[in-house]
Structure 1
Amino acid sequence: MTSRIPFYFIVSLLVFAGIALSMYRHDVYGVPWTPGAERAVWEVEARVEFDAIGDPVKISMAAPETQHGFTLIDESTSSPGYGVALIDTDKGRRAEWSIREAIGQQILYYKTQMLIDDQANYKDTPPKGEPTAVSLDNPQQTAATALLNQARTRSSDNLTLTRELIKQFNDKQNQNAGLLLNNLSREEAITGLLSLEKIHSRVVGGLQLEDGRRRQNINPMVEVWDNNAEKWELFDPLTGNEGRPDDVLVWNQQGHSLLDVVGGRNSHISFSIIAQNITPQQATREKVQAEDLLNFSIHTLPVEEQAMFKTIMLVPIGALIVVFLRVIIGLKTSGTFMPVLIAVAFVQTQLITGIIGFLLIVGTGLIIRSYLSKLNLLLVARISTVIISVILIISVFTVVAFKIGLVEGLTITFFPMIILSWTVERMSILWEEEGAKEVFIQGGGSLLTAVLVYIAMTNEIVRHLTFNFIGMQLIIMAVILVLGNYTGYRLSELRRFKPLTED
């Protein structure tokens, strides 16, 4: 008989290593056990892409500063072969890359950590001189005068005048505003009209902070100098909202260009965002200077990849739930880990939308598959047809949802098409061999499992632990190994012994 000692040794080693890594991460780097227990840090990464043409290259990008509600605690760049400098200019803080010669696609990264801090130490720099008035042709000047006259009568200071101008530009029936918007962007038109009133204003970039966002673009916003409070006041030109929202980071503060590229073309900048609950002391001292285990963790990857891993690291939780339900409970599912993938889709689509979409796709697919079974096609041709059918079903449902105004229906495209196709195929074969009852049992078991996995994946504590403590993955693996060693009765099988208890 094979000894179980090595097995239990491996399980114990996994548990010990998982606990040790988690304790190390908590004690040395100050990562809290529960979300929200420490002050949050937003880690924002700018990804600059462009095509170099073989000439000397110089890239200048606006860099954020300590501002209202945020303290800059760290910044770094990733740009092999480039010279890098973070400098203060008359255009504000900027990150500059340079290289003597480059050709082909180039990708540069700039990463910053902004600590949420209501006591951030910053000072608004007042504008100098008089604002330069915008140059308009005669029709535009007439329209601008009409807009300013109306806004002036309904306002009392710089801020209320700005608010009234934004209202007019948001009025689709206002012909004067429409005339200016034919040649100017909304934010440029607003700052241009304010310059005619000798009011200092500038266009800045507002970055919406949302955990796990990838490839996000910056939103242009307007800052207006308030002479009374002696500070810059932020306005959203699309909504007219005044003030600095807690979830908006002002990236480009000085009213200058966000990105300048010399020696390249087709430039583009995008942002990836992730939130981390760490102490400010560790953010400034331990995390940046670390040269040990942390350098081999996913937290050193670009933020865009970290945001992707935040979902991937939840898959072991789903696997643990599936193993428990199948091995201990005895729940039947269609496919072993198909419910986990469906649950991941539910995370993107939200639960109700995901369940409805899953039932519609699988139900319609079974109807089409029942017809294909009458054609006696080969397996490869049949499953290929099912895949194409599933893609068409998703496309039709998405278009119909958009036409009738159900925006949630657009997220149905997150469903794994190949997995759904095999699910339809398996259920169809099961229907032919075992009957409709077995199909409903396994289909219902799969859907129930997916819902339970979804509930676990969307739990904030679970998301926090799995992403911030890599040792949790080792502990989960150890538990799965122990469950895999179970050979007793499943709970669903115990009903067979009910007659014995009655006797």
Structure 2
Amino acid sequence: MSRLPFYLIVALLLVTGIAMSVHRHVQFEVPWTPGEQRKVWEIEAQVNFQADGGPAKVEMALPSTQPGFRVLTEHTASPGYGLNYLEEDGARRALWSVREARGNQQLYYSAQVLVAENAKPAEVPPPRSAANVVWEPPYDTAAQEVIDDAWSRSADAFTFTQQLISEFSDERRDENVRLLLTQFDRAPLLLRLLHQADVQARNVSGLQLENGRRRQTLTTWIQVYDGDESALFDPANGERGRPDNLLLWENAGQSVLEVQGGTNSRISFSMISRNQPAAAAVRSQLAKDADTLLNFSIHSLPLEEQALFQTILLIPIGALVVVLLRVLVGIKTSGTFMPVLIALAFIQTSLVTGLVGFLLVVAVGLVIRNYLSYLNLLLVARVTAVIITVIAIISLFSVVSFRMGLNAGLQITFFPMIILSWTIERMSILWEEEGPKEVLIQGGGSMLTAVLAYLAMNNPWIRHITFNFLGVQLILMALILMLGNYTGYRLLELRRFKPVTED
């Protein structure tokens, strides 16, 4: 029979599992290792204005996800005001409104912004072609001469912008530039000149992020488009590109703050940076995108279910350890996957406490099961009696350990009682049929397998990977299928060939 379909299934599981894991790492920036730290900026914007005593409306631009930054959470503090969030063409704004406001008013907006290199920016369409720019004499002649001079020394929209800004430097500033600066501010003037030269551009407002700064204001930048490409320019020196610490607060060429029903409006910013675990930093983003097809995230579930799945997803790791030890090494265990359940109990109780408790319960249970064998009970009744006996033994050990001040003994209740009962039953039958040696072999193999499974399942790196990357489950499935196809010798079986090597 052809094995091609089998190998195709294994390859499909491997490729799918790896692709899902890489997608979550790249798209949602889920870290590969636990304990990674990410920088998060906490930014607070404070709006102040003097209300006239009547209705008031305040509209403020809000930051959006952009290259290098992702908005995690945002909150406002505006007692008595209604609040609405507006979004159009990738530009986000907050609108506060109130029927009556008088005197000094303060509104607060705070946001947590994650430093994310691979953040997918919101799509903001390029600005529309500006209408004919109207200049009054003699500014029209001066503006055209400045444009012609910069145009002759440029090759495209970006180099033209750099040449135009350089015309405003102190070293090259001529009479035409000085004349224009008497009527216009620098940034709006540059934008008017770009529009007259039929260059698509807009003014955007950015916030320079510096740890611990207070009462900061926004700076104006020029965003220039040339076809499908765009570039950011500093109107002060003409440098192209966005600094790493620049957060674009308003990126659509609109006003940052608009106030109706008030005067003397102003906005200031305070900021502080801190590091926090990467898993916590991206958790809100994972929950936010949980409805997308490719985001198979446990983080979208309630916390109680998340804690449950964090343990359940470790079971395939323990099963892989069992398959490796039984198929490749040849270790015998009492029950196929009983060591996995015992390893889960070790996770709850700690390794030493779990080993001592398990050995005590099984030893006492074997003694009592030996007495039950003389009663010639039916199997179901005998196993039921063993279950009740195990419950009684665990209860007794818990009470005695508590009386002696050993709180660790209380954790023995985490052991699966049904599994313990069947283990005692199987070992008792094995003792009667094969003798104590076989009981020690299978019991010792079960303990060794349970300990190794516990060490693998309790590893922080493995716990992180299995919980955050569900594609790992497909990879584990592929590995187990390949191990199930193994038909060679087990390591412990090689002892049979020892006499041959001696000869």
> TM-score per shorter chain, which class?
0.5 to 0.7
> Does structure 1 residue 417 correspond to structure 2 residue 417?
yes
1:32 matched to which residue of 2? 31
The offset of 1:482, in angstroms, is 0.4
What value does the CA root-mean-square deviation take over the aligned residues?
Answer: 3.1
TM-score w.r.t. length of structure 2: 0.53
TM-score w.r.t. length of structure 1: 0.53
Distance in 2 of aligned mates of 1:304 and 1:298: 11
> Does structure 1 residue 493 correspond to structure 2 residue 475?
no
Distance in 1 of aligned mates of 2:401 and 2:79: 50
The 5-angstrom pairing of residues 148-227 of structure 1 reads none
The offset of 1:291, in angstroms, is 3.4
Distance in 2 of aligned mates of 1:114 and 1:406: 45
Distance 1:75 1:441, change over 3 A: farther
Distance in 2 of aligned mates of 1:305 and 1:30: 23
2:312 matched to which residue of 1? 312
Q: Secondary structure at the match of 2:372?
A: helix
Q: Secondary structure at the match of 1:467?
A: helix
2:278 matched to which residue of 1? 277
Distance 1:304 1:40, change over 3 A: farther
The offset of 1:296, in angstroms, is 4.2
Q: Which runs of 5+ in 1 are unaligned?
A: 42-71, 77-85, 91-112, 124-245, 247-274
In our comparison, the structure showing a higher alpha carbon Rg is: 2
2:12 matched to which residue of 1? 13
1:300 matched to which residue of 2? 300
Distance 1:400 1:39, change over 3 A: farther
Amino acid at match of 1:460: P
Distance in 1 of aligned mates of 2:418 and 2:212: 53
Q: Are the equivalent residues in 2 in contact too, given 1:31–1:468 (CA < 8 A)?
A: yes
The offset of 1:25, in angstroms, is 0.5
The offset of 1:38, in angstroms, is 3.1
1:483 matched to which residue of 2? 483
Cα-to-partner distance string for 1:109-128 (whole Å, 9 max, x where unaligned)? xxxx99999x99899xxxxx
Distance in 1 of aligned mates of 2:79 and 2:397: 53
Distance in 1 of aligned mates of 2:286 and 2:379: 57
The offset of 1:289, in angstroms, is 4.0
Distance 1:297 1:75, change over 3 A: farther
Q: Which runs of 5+ in 2 are unaligned?
A: 41-70, 81-110, 116-209, 215-273
2:323 matched to which residue of 1? 323
Q: Secondary structure at the match of 1:278?
A: helix
Distance in 2 of aligned mates of 1:340 and 1:75: 44
Distance in 2 of aligned mates of 1:40 and 1:463: 23
Amino acid at match of 2:415: F
2:467 matched to which residue of 1? 467
Distance 1:14 1:289, change over 3 A: closer
Distance in 2 of aligned mates of 1:466 and 1:3: 33
Amino acid at match of 1:350: S
2:335 matched to which residue of 1? 335
2:347 matched to which residue of 1? 347
2:437 matched to which residue of 1? 437
The 5-angstrom pairing of residues 395-410 of structure 1 reads 395-410=395-410
The offset of 1:37, in angstroms, is 1.9
The offset of 1:458, in angstroms, is 1.3
Distance 1:450 1:279, change over 3 A: closer
1:178 matched to which residue of 2? none
Distance in 1 of aligned mates of 2:369 and 2:283: 55
Distance in 2 of aligned mates of 1:493 and 1:437: 18
Q: Secondary structure at the match of 2:497?
A: helix
Distance in 2 of aligned mates of 1:300 and 1:490: 43
Q: Are the equivalent residues in 2 in contact too, given 1:31–1:279 (CA < 8 A)?
A: no
Amino acid at match of 2:13: L
The offset of 1:316, in angstroms, is 0.3
The offset of 1:415, in angstroms, is 0.1
Distance 1:496 1:39, change over 3 A: same
Cα-to-partner distance string for 1:331-383 (whole Å, 9 max, x where unaligned)? 00000000000000000000000000000000000000000000000001000
The offset of 1:9, in angstroms, is 0.3
Q: Secondary structure at the match of 2:375?
A: coil
Cα-to-partner distance string for 1:170-222 (whole Å, 9 max, x where unaligned)? xxxxxxxxxxxxxxxxxxxxxxxxxxxxxxxxxxxxxxxxxxxxxxxxxxxxx
The offset of 1:501, in angstroms, is 0.7
Amino acid at match of 1:390: V
Q: Are the equivalent residues in 2 in contact too, given 1:345–1:414 (CA < 8 A)?
A: yes
Q: Are the equivalent residues in 1 in contact too, given 2:290–2:300 (CA < 8 A)?
A: no
Distance in 2 of aligned mates of 1:501 and 1:491: 15
The runs of at least 4 consecutive aligned structure 1 residues that moved more than 6 Å come to 86-90, 113-117, 119-123
Distance in 2 of aligned mates of 1:324 and 1:24: 29
